[in-house]
Structure 1
């Protein structure tokens, strides 16, 4: 054990035998001090060398913890003043303290246009349905089948005669809860976890449960740009879709409408496709708005664990109340393990589970007991965490290859990405109309590679305002095929 009291007066205790990395422990202690107002917005935190000396740890541990909290929005680096508690948290904290109002949001004609019209591109959905070496959403799966994976399936094969409960195998629910605690800083009970066939199944389950209680058409807000797959799934369940503006930092919470929505779908940890991370002040503003309006927040934990810089960010659900909260977290193992599993999870506070669980009981569980048993054993072995760490190195290497091989391509800028399985190539030069024309031209020329037009991820693309470009995947092929596909794309870019 090592412990000390830092300059700001907040207690920090680090346990070297806890099995949790020291930077993670330190970041957690600082995060708690800020949430408890022991450290207040605008206050300076100790210099890295000073805090390292007081705690008897390497300065790199403190640097890593500070960088993580800067990425999350808890801290901010100020030129000439060192590192501060993010001053913007002052406004977020007061917003979070607003009293909650009861009652569902009623649909109205105020706020964003409720009739966004057809998609400009009918099928830009990332995933296995899109073919090509550079198709977005396809993970690398050649490294999954190691000894731990095979052992998990051998043991699970003995359960052919058993049927998992509708809410999911108890062992798997427990392991998913532990996985969320370790990987996503979200400490919740296994009772809050339901096993699903993936994010779309979880979304459908929630919308079915809410539709049965509200007795009218549900109105669902989606990020624009955003994932066409969840947008389409919500519409298939009879919801009316309302687009909500997103920018480089994610959902623009300052432009959320009152009295319009029942549900809003967000990707706060890794906005798709632009890759932004929702800052902490916006997260608090979103939660306060949801409490005030009665809107349910669906947090799609898209690509959240596949983060190249720093640790994966805590979920929005981690800031929510586990009993009376409004956040339903949807996750899948399709990206970190394999789409072939068709397995995921839903995490909901107790109040919402009371609506969701009867629907799941009536419909039955969608994932076989064998798959659930194998996944539970695989998670329990700790191999998924090790596998994810290995894959992050491979994806980071491919991200570097994208930057290197496409650097200097005519009229193209590779947008920076902190994680995920895709890259965005922004088209530059010329006016908006010329860029849109070039976007379509290159997409058609590179169709065999699976390249997607960025414009397909918008529903309401304001002329001249939206980014124009291409979305490419960084999985689904071996390293040689990937490099060859990038070289082919480079030739198309330079020609077009």
Structure 2
């Protein structure tokens, strides 16, 4: 071990005693584990600029007390097992959750954005990772493109045109590690005192990114068709952030007429629109509506997408498509920050898409989410009845429920957690006041049986009759 004890030479405590205390403390805490080899007396003395006699006195005392042992021709080794230490304040064991069949289970977590690991194509992904290492081995040995690897950007261009009608070229795409990072980059690219029109309610993390960059946030209310245009025309923001294909968090879908009206307004006022199409791949009912970017003829839309919701959150690959007027400044900014996504992951994803595995995965997930959606809607209606109202169920792997009980938001969450279920509020999506108890139930990361059991336990926890 290459240890570095910090010795206080001004202390009245002798240096050898400070060394003894250091070794004992680290053994008690488990940082120096039984069997680890300690530095030699000569090496430690030279490193700490102290005499070898000082180190020898410390080691002799540790040997005498049984903290270390000496092995001939091998050296000194820690001989203290920290697991035998009786901790004064042991952490209480968490009680298992009992379900209605009497068996024990972990917490059922209705978090939006988790992935059901039993359906992840691990074998196909592993195969494409290995293939990409062979195929792109030379490129991995030099810095990648600051905008993102051209192989992946080209495939994203083709995929988005086919699936969402997005019109762009590969050089308009910037790859980034998250939507939050790309929004941060966009604030530098635009580099003005922006007035940002933001959906009310809207995605809180994105709103906080703008606030962190000292942008003025203008809450824009919604109606059944989407963003209210009278509020837009009254405030005339420089930039508008929206989630038109599955409004976050309410789940509404902006109508085609409202989309066209918004685009005309943006062109007339030289404003930009950020279209965050965070889960545009998953629509459960109704006719497909093209992306806002696909309808844009005046280059006013900045398009955001991610592989976190549709594939794997830990892959950390998102992308931004910029109008051509912003490309020169964007290239300058991205050159400063460099690329934040590993080239290995980019090449592996490109291989995965190129070989058709991505489309297979999406088809499986769409089928799975339709089935899970049916199960959760039936369970909510059966168990929770008229005590709740369901909405936002037409797109994405999530539903919202308004809970008609005289309980606070936190009381609903805590009661559910006491029964082994985690649900999430939407109140943090509002910049202004919020009057209803609305819970978000994401079903992408829970099994079909967990969905049924979780809704049953919500009934019990909220004491619904």
TM-score, with normalisation over the residues of structure 2? 0.71
Deviation at 1:344, TM superposition (A): 1.2
CA distance in 2, matches of 1:190, 1:302: 19
1:266-320 CA distance string (max 9 Å, x none): 0011101111111111111111111222221110002111112256532101111
CA distance in 2, matches of 1:199, 1:453: 21
Residue 374 of structure 1 is matched in structure 2 by 348
CA distance in 1, matches of 2:181, 2:129: 24
Deviation at 1:329, TM superposition (A): 0.2
Is 2:193 the counterpart of 1:221? no
Flag structure 2 segments of 5+ consecutive residues without an equivalent: 1-106
Residue 440 of structure 2 is matched in structure 1 by 471
Deviation at 1:491, TM superposition (A): 1.8
Deviation at 1:345, TM superposition (A): 0.8
Residue 39 of structure 1 is matched in structure 2 by none
Residue 182 of structure 1 is matched in structure 2 by 162
Residue 414 of structure 2 is matched in structure 1 by 444
Conservation of the 8 A alpha-carbon contact between 1:141 and 1:338: no
Residue 489 of structure 1 is matched in structure 2 by 458
CA distance in 2, matches of 1:269, 1:302: 9
Deviation at 1:457, TM superposition (A): 2.0
CA distance in 1, matches of 2:287, 2:360: 14
CA distance in 2, matches of 1:364, 1:180: 25
Deviation at 1:156, TM superposition (A): 2.6
Deviation at 1:181, TM superposition (A): 1.1
CA distance in 2, matches of 1:269, 1:368: 29
Residue 285 of structure 1 is matched in structure 2 by 261
1:139-188 CA distance string (max 9 Å, x none): 33432334432222002334342432001111111000011011112232
1:210-235 CA distance string (max 9 Å, x none): 11xx3xx3222211111111111222
1:341-384 CA distance string (max 9 Å, x none): 10011111211222222111121111111011011111112221
Conservation of the 8 A alpha-carbon contact between 1:223 and 1:265: yes
Is 2:243 the counterpart of 1:263? no
CA distance in 2, matches of 1:379, 1:313: 24
TM-score, with normalisation over the residues of structure 1? 0.66
Residue 356 of structure 1 is matched in structure 2 by 330
1:424-482 CA distance string (max 9 Å, x none): 112347xxxx4xx444421221245331123332222365xxx5421111122333333
What SS does structure 1 have at the residue aligned with 2:350? helix
Deviation at 1:249, TM superposition (A): 3.1
Residue 32 of structure 1 is matched in structure 2 by none
Residue 400 of structure 1 is matched in structure 2 by 374
Residue 316 of structure 2 is matched in structure 1 by 342
Is 2:430 the counterpart of 1:461? no
Residue 145 of structure 2 is matched in structure 1 by 165
Deviation at 1:136, TM superposition (A): 2.2
Residue 99 of structure 1 is matched in structure 2 by none
Is 2:182 the counterpart of 1:208? no
Conservation of the 8 A alpha-carbon contact between 1:133 and 1:475: no
Deviation at 1:259, TM superposition (A): 5.4
CA distance in 1, matches of 2:339, 2:265: 33
- Supply the RMSD in Å over aligned alpha carbons: 2.2
Is 2:214 the counterpart of 1:238? yes
Conservation of the 8 A alpha-carbon contact between 1:304 and 1:313: no
Conservation of the 8 A alpha-carbon contact between 2:369 and 2:397: yes
What SS does structure 2 have at the residue aligned with 1:256? helix
What SS does structure 2 have at the residue aligned with 1:398? helix
Aligned residue-pair number:
351
CA distance in 2, matches of 1:250, 1:375: 34
1:284-323, aligned counterparts within 5 Å? 284-309=260-285, 312-321=288-297
CA distance in 2, matches of 1:404, 1:438: 25
Conservation of the 8 A alpha-carbon contact between 2:113 and 2:308: no
Conservation of the 8 A alpha-carbon contact between 2:427 and 2:434: no
Distance 1:236 1:449, change over 3 A: farther
Deviation at 1:132, TM superposition (A): 5.4
Is 2:170 the counterpart of 1:196? no
Distance 1:420 1:248, change over 3 A: same
